[in-house]
Structure 1
Amino acid sequence: MWNEKYSAEHYIFGTKPNDFLAQNFNVFTERNILCLAEGEGRNAVFLAKQGYTVTAVDASLAGLDKARKLAAENNVTVEFIHDDMEKYDLGNEKWDGIVSIFFHIPGNIRRELHRKVVVGLKNGGVMLLEAYTPEQQKYGTGGPPTADSTMAADLMMTAELLTQELKGLQFSHILELEREVVEGTDHSGTAAVVQVIASK
């Protein structure tokens, strides 16, 4: 599915970084950042332009091709890795920061990934996340592409869920809110989101 979506000539989520990341990237006081399910590269390229050492993982070859092109156009270096996030090894105390922007996977897989996030962060490392909440289903301005509302809800997140799944981190910011999201053609309009900044 994602290879097909990312095969579009344009960048479906745009080339500018996610607003929440752009406003808060300075929470990463050290250099080594991992971007989960990075897609077409906009957030990884933004972080590289700020001077961070960035690794970006995605399962879509089409997305990574566009991400590499975007990095080249911006004269930055990003390590792009083709892998399934369910299988990718985040390591042990390896990352100064981990970024997850609108990355929606089934709850059982997500819980295991978030366990690996906590293990993979260095002491003092920071997780920054923005995701849709189940309330997003009433807006239709982006989010997991499924007509099954129960399945869609399982792919989305709440503050309560994230507090449980990222146990072991200290939350400096955790908030559910409605905000305008304008990110390319596939995320545009009022959205129900949850935001997290949490450190180990």
Structure 2
Amino acid sequence: MWDQRYAAPGYLFGTDPARFLSEHANHLPQDGRVLCVADGEGRNAAFLAARGLDVTAFDASPVAIGKARKLAEERGVTVHHALADIDDWDWEPGAYDAVVAIFIQFAPPSMRKRIFEGMKRTLRPGGVLMLHGYRPEQIAHGTGGPPDAENLYTEDLLEKAFGDFEILRLASYEREIEEGKGHVGMSALIDLIAIKP
């Protein structure tokens, strides 16, 4: 399915980073290793690499990775791209200074729990997690994201999942977004920025 979606001309979600990421980039380390989870066509990875970070990005779609490599080349940045299903990713303990996971809500609750545990494990102590996605209210907007409410985030869900981290930002809000053809219009969003103790 994702290969078919990404095969369309252009970039499904655009080439600019998610607004959440660019607005809160001050929370990122000045240098170090960053993991971009299920990063699709590479817009967020390219942004991070342009800031001088050592970026690894993975996705399950070879079509998306092809576009991501092209975007990195056009931007003159280096990104380590990997083809991997999220459930098969090796969450190497303490390997990254930051983990960025934006709109990865294709995962049902059981898979999401494994992903969250993996992200926590692969961060080094003091590392930053930046997680951004949709709330259940997004389904009524119909402007992007999955139609499954159980896949979407609430503040309570994220507080329980990351309560052992230092939460710097946990915010729910409505915003008009325009990210390619894939995310357009009023959206019910949620942000989490947290530090691993």
* TM interval, short-chain normalised: over 0.9
* Distance of 1:168 and 1:2 partners within structure 2: 33
CA contact (8 A) 1:115 1:166 kept: no
* Distance of 2:87 and 2:160 partners within structure 1: 19
Q: Does 1:130 align with 2:126?
A: no
* Distance of 1:6 and 1:167 partners within structure 2: 35
Report SS of the residue matched to 1:134: coil
* Distance of 1:167 and 1:85 partners within structure 2: 23
Report SS of the residue matched to 1:142: coil
Please list the CA deviations of residues 161-193 of structure 1 after superposition, one character each: whole Å capped at 9, or x if unmatched.
111122321101001111111100110111001
Deviation of residue 55 (structure 1)? Answer: 0.3
Equivalent of 1:177, from 161, 173, 184? 173
Amino acid at match of 2:23: Q
Amino acid at match of 1:10: G
Aligned to 2:115: 113
Amino acid at match of 1:91: E
Amino acid at match of 2:94: E
TM-score normalized by structure 2?
0.96
**Unpaired segments of 5 or more residues in structure 2?**
none
TM-score normalized by structure 1?
0.95
Aligned to 1:188: 184
Query: CA RMSD, aligned part only?
Result: 0.9
Aligned-pair identity in percent equals: 40
- Number of equivalences: 194
Report SS of the residue matched to 1:137: helix
Deviation of residue 28 (structure 1)? Answer: 1.6
Runs of 4+ displaced beyond 6 Å: none
